[in-house]
Amino acid sequence: MKNGFLVAALLCTLQFSFGQQKKWTLQECVNYALENNISVKQSELNVKQNEIDKKDARGNFLPTLNASGSHSWNIGLNQNITTGLLENLTTQFTSFGLSSNVTLYNGLRNVNQLHRSNLAILASQYRLEDMKDDISLMVANSFLQILFNKEQLKIQQAQYTITKQDLIRTDELVEAGVLPKGDALEIKATLATQEQQIVNTENALMLSKISLAQILRIDDYENFDTQDVVYDIPLTSILNESPKTIVEKAEQYRYDIKIADANVKLAEYDLKLSKGNLQPSLSGFYGYNTRASNSDQILGVDRVPDGTFTSIGFVEGSGETVLSPNFNTERIIGGPDGLFDQFSVNDGHNFGLSLRVPIFNGFSAKNNVQRSTVNLERSKNQFEQAKLDLETEVFQAMNDAKGALKAYDAALRTEEARREAYFYAKERFGTGLSNSFDFSQSQARFEQSQSEVIRTKYDYIFKLKVLEFYFGIPIQELN
């Protein structure tokens, strides 16, 4: 009995956990997409890359310092540097050095490169925020599409239930001889059409969920779902604003204008860098080197008589020859000094200034200046075009939002008229004053008007959100 209670409790727990499937809110979807979307991650990497480039620009102001060292063996027939003779021997040489270089002036390229790197970081941050805005709108559009499909499915299922009830009543009237059998067949055909519409809407709902899940990089498509939120038409005064006011706001908040402006400034620094290559550059250098060898060294020389004599004169009076012994000079060879002693004795320093004056380099420097000038003019044109595009987009968004609102109002009026016509046709059909074909046509038009209300409502909500986006209102405030 006790085990039975445990199993039952476990089953209840499992059922409860499966019943608590997570349903995502719009806020959660936007936040998750901004953290996991690949395009956003790529933009974040671009920011990090530009931050690394800034470190390079800072490092250009610092002196360079490099160390070098080598140790070599010479084996075989070589000239003995001690005796000057060719001998079969093995010698070893060790050398060590340090070198440093610092740029004193290079046409202010280092300064301009640092300023450019700071601006490049800012531009990449603008692109990141612009990418986040695009992803947020994409998520909102996909989220609203799911809600539209859900409401569409609810309406179709409700109409399907009503049609089934109508079929039951019609069958009863047919059996009673009040209505012809064709009326029941017509309603059955309508019922089959509604079943097909439900299947199509269920498929559209699943596809819209998959689309949003892919934006969020969620693989569990079957269990992914959003909260069943019903958005009412939002109250807003933005449609009362003038397009000029919205454009001025958009120029403050929209990142595409900031990106275009940053590109102009980047092109200006590129031009400065190109002009810097035409100027002389001055750098200072310093070097230290030392060496050591295991070769023998000459400690001195020694004079040794060779057993021969040389006449140097005669004795006056006797005429006897005066002889002087001959000597050979022999070098006194000793082993090498200690390694560190040699490093201390054989070290040396060199330092100075190096001036580089560009005179002729195949016109490459001059062409780079011209190329940078052309790129600057192109960036300025793109900036002006971005402002024109933004103005066009704002006017288009304003017209789209106003048109969507009018379409929604018209859809509401149409739905109201279709509803009255539907109930009137249903009443006539129930009393035998109308046939099933006319009733089915009225019902289909009523269902279409309901779908159109849902479509125009969410179309207006999204287009209104786009317009608010230009006004600086974030997508999350849709919640």
Q: pLDDT digits over 138-184, tens only?
A: 898 898 899 889 988 988 888 888 888 878 877 877 787 767 888 78
Domain extent for 319: 297-334
Residue 304 maps to a domain: yes
Give the residues across from 74 on adjacent strands. 91
Q: What is the pLDDT of residue 385?
A: 94
Residue 81 maps to a domain: no
pLDDT tier, 4 (very low <50, low <70, confident <90, very high otherwise): very low
Residue 394 maps to a domain: no
Q: What is the pLDDT of residue 475?
A: 67
pLDDT tier, 89 (very low <50, low <70, confident <90, very high otherwise): low
Assess contact for 336 and 296: CB atoms under 8 A. yes
Question: How far is Cα 277 from Cα 275, in angstroms, rounded to an integer?
Answer: 5
Long-range contacts of 144-147 (CB under 8 A, 24+ apart): 144/231, 144/458, 144/461, 144/462, 145/208, 145/211, 145/212, 145/458, 146/205, 146/208, 146/209, 146/212, 146/226, 147/226, 147/228, 147/229, 147/230, 147/231, 147/458
Q: What is the pLDDT of residue 309?
A: 72
Query: How many structural domains compose the chain?
Result: 1
Residue 205 has pLDDT above 90, yes or no: yes
Q: What is the pLDDT of residue 206?
A: 94
Question: How far is Cα 165 from Cα 185, in angstroms, rounded to an integer?
Answer: 14
Give the residues across from 330 on adjacent strands. 302
Q: What is the pLDDT of residue 7?
A: 41
Q: What is the pLDDT of residue 334?
A: 54
Structure tokens at 355: 């001036």
Q: Which stretches does DSSP call E strand in 106-237? A: none
Q: What is the pLDDT of residue 248?
A: 87
- The closest of 476, 471, 478 to 34, measured between CA atoms, is 476
For residue range 376-434, what is the model confidence (pLDDT) as tens digits? 999 999 999 999 999 998 999 999 999 999 999 999 999 899 889 888 888 887 777 77
* Whole-number Cα distances in Å, 439 to 183, 187, 293, 317, 446: 9, 9, 112, 170, 11
Residue 319 maps to a domain: yes
Residue 365: what residue type? A
Question: How far is Cα 15 from Cα 12, in angstroms, rounded to an integer?
Answer: 5
DSSP letter at 226? Answer: B
Residue 6 has pLDDT above 50, yes or no: no
Instruction: Identify the weakest region by mean pLDDT among 50-59, 81-90, 366-375.
Output: 81-90
Q: What is the largest CA-CA distance in the chain?
A: 184
Looking at every residue in the chain, the average pLDDT score rounds to 83
Residue 21 maps to a domain: no
pLDDT tier, 17 (very low <50, low <70, confident <90, very high otherwise): very low
- The closest of 2, 7, 17, 27 to 475, measured between CA atoms, is 27
Residue 81 has pLDDT above 60, yes or no: no
Question: How far is Cα 98 from Cα 290, in angstroms, rounded to an integer?
Answer: 9
Half-sphere exposure of 409 (CA within 13 A, CB side): 6
Q: What is the pLDDT of residue 196?
A: 92
Q: What is the pLDDT of residue 16?
A: 40
Report residue 472: phi and psi, to 5°: 95, 10
| Chain centre to alpha carbon of residue 6 | 52
Average pLDDT over residues 199-203: 93
Residue 306 maps to a domain: yes
Residue 174 maps to a domain: no
Report the predicted TM-score, pTM, of the whole model to 2 decimal places.
0.75
Residue 188 maps to a domain: no
In the chain, the N- to C-terminal Cα span, in Å, equals 50
Structure tokens at 254: 């929209």
pLDDT tier, 251 (very low <50, low <70, confident <90, very high otherwise): confident
Question: How far is Cα 53 from Cα 124, in angstroms, rounded to an integer?
Answer: 12
Residue 132 has pLDDT above 50, yes or no: yes
